[in-house]
A and B are shown apart, each in its own frame.
Chain A
Amino acid sequence: MTNPVSLKNIRAGSGGVPLTQKRESLWGDAFRRLLRNRAAVIGGSIIIILILVAVFADQIAIMHYAKQNLVANNSAPEWVLKVFSTMRPYAQVNNDYPLGADYAGRDLFSRIVYGARISLTVAFIGPIISLIIGVIYGSISGFFGGRVDNIMMRIVDILYAFPQLLFIILMLAFFRSTFAKPDPGTFTYTMSQLDSRLGGMLFIFIGIGVTAWETMARLTRGQVLATREKEFVEAARTIGSSDLRIMFRHILPNIIGPLVVAETLAIPGYISTEAFLSFIGLGVNPPTPSWGSMISDGSAVIRTYPNQAVFPALALAITMFAFNFLGDGLRDALDPRLRGTQ
């Protein structure tokens, strides 16, 4: 180390990049690109705020989501009446409720805050389920190829051909009726208990899980098929790597980018599926607040009390936008074609 300057020059060999700058991993590099994307940063920030809201719902909500006050039912604060002036003849003014109260006199704001829990849980559980099942299934199919691939993909095709939402609805209806009044100690009883413990979300997870992995499996399979023909996979074989090692050490890190992007962009789909199921009454059990069931309740009185549908809908829309923005940003940041460029 007699001459540090010349050493730096040696390292600067490729492309004249001054290597005095800190060397970053590929993920660090992607993260830097993500931070330069304003929409993605806004989306990401909103998601972080939402997560905080969901986690600290007990502190943020001004009252319990199920607390009723029949005296204040369908009331609204002054500023809401200013915005929705058509409400004025029907609603009583009550400034204790920041966004108003619903037909049972429950605070809309608190219910939206607690509703974030449901939506975000779906937003994170959905991808976990579909990633685990889809990536494993797709990897096996793509990696082994041939007949295995053919059979596995035809199964996916068959499942894909069935309308997903209809499938979930049928399944939920089936589960709910099967598990409605089981005897204690049986499997169905345990499932039923678990479901009610989760506020009715268990079956929603299962419903989303059994349909969402198919897209993931197809994507993974395609990526694996493309990557396994790369020379470095052959090189890995020549040094004696096992199939498992090639799969997890060499192929998976190369395809994880597109998978993460696809999954992030699929999150709004999961959230809207949950909202839709709650909207048609198959979602979470009342009085657990879900944005979907709140919109459903609100839509019944949308002419007279538009605030009851508009605010949860707004929350839903903002959340879905945020995930879309973040997903778009991630795609740009992780796109291999942009890798190595400024």
Chain B
Amino acid sequence: MADLLNVQGLETHFRVREGYVHAVNGVDFHLKEGETLGIVGESGCGKSVTVMSMLRLIPVPPGKVVAGTAMYQGKDLLKMSPDEIRHIRGAQISMIFQDPMTSFNPVLTIGRQVAEPLEIHMGLSRKAALNRAAEMLAMVGIPNAKDRLNDYPHQFSGGMRQRVMIAMALTCSPQILIADEPTTALDVTIQAQIVDLVKRLRDELGMAIIWITHDLGIIAGLADRVNVMYGGLIIEAAPVKPLYAAPLHPYTQGLLHSLPRMDETEQRRLVSIDGLPPVLMTKPTSCPFAPRCTFAYERCLQENPPLINLDGNHQVACWVDTKTGRPRE
């Protein structure tokens, strides 16, 4: 299937007093129609900045997308006029956020907020938009949807608000839904409900999803492919099964080892990765993970490994073949 979205060489900087923070350092990824892509990584690795840069939502200044292309339907999102990109946002690519408590305008009713994308992009009248909003709320499982249109955000619980946010993101039937850690602020049972809801809606509506999270567990059951990010780079990209069965990058291995597993028979201590993520005041010239890596050798500290293709779909950026523990080649 054709690529719906193709991002190449995306680089984003943020100006700070001491210079520039290199938040994203040349990210390549693509998304096929109807596909679910997981982006995984710890805080500050550039997951959110990547998608925000793509939609041109990072505040300028201090942020700046310095390089790259993001081709969507034959057009570069990064070169569109402000008006063009505005009509992509919410209509064709929409987003849901981490914190459903603060992402709603406290003084507008839920109905008006859910109906807003329809008013902006489809030019529907207030009444038609509200009817459609009620349908959407019913679809995401809000009971009494029609009655609740006139409620204010504070009258909804966290899980309900996340459902409403999903409804709002999907009102215009977008091609791509970007979910930026949508379950992080919710408790575990609600998380499961939201994930199930998104799965159901994906199957019904057939949109592609980019799901950003640091929770490998959620991604396992949801995504088709996973990109692992570290230091503003994608360091491993693979379909979900091989990634979990045989992670190749030391960082991915570390992440998976740091999680408890249901199917584990013997007891073990959870392993943590030593050290801290790098502060990206310069563009990494060596492997950003090298200082924390148990496999690292001289080359890792001198050159940044490119993302190389191994057996078809599995890509990894590492000088070391972690299966054997020896340098590649």
- B155 to A14, Cβ gap below 8 A? yes
**In the complex, what distance in Å separates the CA atom of A240 from the CA atom of B94?**
9
Q: Is the CB of A241 within 8 A of B105?
A: no
Q: Is the CB of B105 within 8 A of A240?
A: no
Interface string of B24-67 (1 = CB under 8 A from A): 00000000000000000000000000000001010001000000
**A residues 219-270 with Cβ under 8 Å of B?**
230-232, 234-242, 245, 249-250, 253-254
In contact, A239 and B103 (Cβ under 8 angstroms): no
Chain B residues proximal to chain A, CB less than 8 Å = 55, 57, 61, 86-91, 94-95, 97, 99, 102-108, 116-117, 120-121, 143-144, 147-148, 150-152, 154-157, 160, 165, 168-169
Contact B107–A253 (Cβ < 8 Å): yes
Is A245 within 8 A of B120, CB to CB?
yes
* A7 touches which of B90, B117, B121, B144 (Cβ 8 Å): B144
Complex contact B156–A14 (CB within 8 A): yes
Contact of B103 among A7, A26, A235 (CB under 8 A): A235
* Residues from chain B with Cβ under 8 Å of A239 in the complex: 89-90, 94, 116-117, 120, 168-169
Task: Pull 17 A–B residue pairs with CB atoms less than 8 Å apart, ordered by A.
Answer: A26-B107, A146-B61, A231-B103, A235-B97, A236-B116, A238-B90, A238-B95, A239-B116, A239-B120, A240-B121, A241-B90, A245-B120, A249-B116, A253-B105, A253-B107, A254-B105, A254-B107
Write out the residue numbers on chain A whose beta carbons fall within 8 Å of the beta carbon of B148: 11
Tally of A interface residues using CB under 8 Å: 26
Residue from the list B55, B94, B144, B150 in contact with A10, Cβ < 8 A: B144
B144→A250 contact, CB < 8 A: no
Tell me, yes or no, whether A181 is within 8 Å of chain B by CB: no
Query: Could you say which of A10, A14, A231, A340 contacts B143, with CB atoms under 8 Å apart?
Result: A10
Residues of A within 8 A of B144 (CB): 7, 10-11
Contact of B88 among A14, A240, A242 (CB under 8 A): A240
Residue in A23, A146, A240 whose CB lies within 8 Å of B91 = A240
Query: A245 — nearest CB in chain B belongs to which residue?
Result: B120
CB nearest to A251 among chain B residues: B105
For B102, give the chain A residue with the smallest CB separation.
A231
A185 on the interface (CB 8 Å rule)?
Answer: no
- Residues from chain B with a CB closer than 8 A to the CB of A16 are none
Q: Taking CB as reference atom, which chain A residue is nearest B85?
A: A240
Please name all residues of chain B whose beta carbon is closer than 8 Å to the beta carbon of A13 when the two chains form the complex.
Answer: 157, 160
Chain B residues closer than 8 Å to A14, beta-carbon distance: 154-157
Q: Quick check: B89 and A234 within 8 Å, CB to CB?
A: no
B49 to chain A, nearest CB (A): 13
Task: Looking at the assembled complex, report how far the CB atom of A95 sits from the nearest CB atom of chain B, in whole angstroms.
Answer: 56
Q: How far is the CA of A253 from the CA of B104 in the complex (A)?
A: 13
Q: Please indicate the chain A residues that have their CB under 8 angstroms from the CB of B88 in the complex.
A: 240
Q: Do A237 and B152 touch (CB < 8 A)?
A: no
The residues of B that contact A234 with a CB separation of less than 8 Å are 57, 97, 103
What is the minimal beta-carbon distance from A36 to any residue of chain B, in angstroms? 21
Query: Assuming A10-B143, A232-B104, A254-B105, is B99 touching A238 (CB within 8 A)?
Result: no
Most chain A beta carbons < 10 A, residue from B91, B154, B155? B155
Closest residue of A by beta carbon distance from B147 = A11
A13 and B108 alpha carbons, distance in the complex (Å): 20
What 10 pairs between A and B have smallest CB-CB spacing?
A239-B90, A240-B90, A240-B89, A231-B102, A238-B95, A235-B103, A232-B105, A239-B117, A253-B107, A240-B86
Which residue of A has the minimal Cβ distance to B153?
A: A232
Q: How many Å from the CB of A331 to the closest CB on chain B?
A: 17
Picked from B57, B121, B150, the residue with its CB within 8 Å of the CB of A238 is B57
- Residues in B with CB closer than 8 Å to A254 are 105-107
Expressed in whole angstroms, the minimum distance between the Cβ of B165 and any Cβ of chain A is: 8
Q: How far is the CA of A253 from the CA of B107 in the complex (A)?
A: 7
CA distance in complex: A231, B61 (Å): 18
* B120 and A241 form a contact (CB under 8 A): yes
* Contact call A340/B154, Cβ cutoff below 8 A: yes
| Given A13-B157, A14-B156, 12 further pairs, Cβ under 8 A | A7-B143, A23-B155, A232-B104, A239-B169, A240-B91, A241-B120, A242-B120, A245-B120, A249-B108, A250-B105, A253-B108, A254-B106
Within the assembled complex, what's the spacing in Å between the Cα atoms of A146 and B87? 26
| CB-CB nearest in chain B for A24 | B152
Contact A240 B103 (CB under 8 A): no
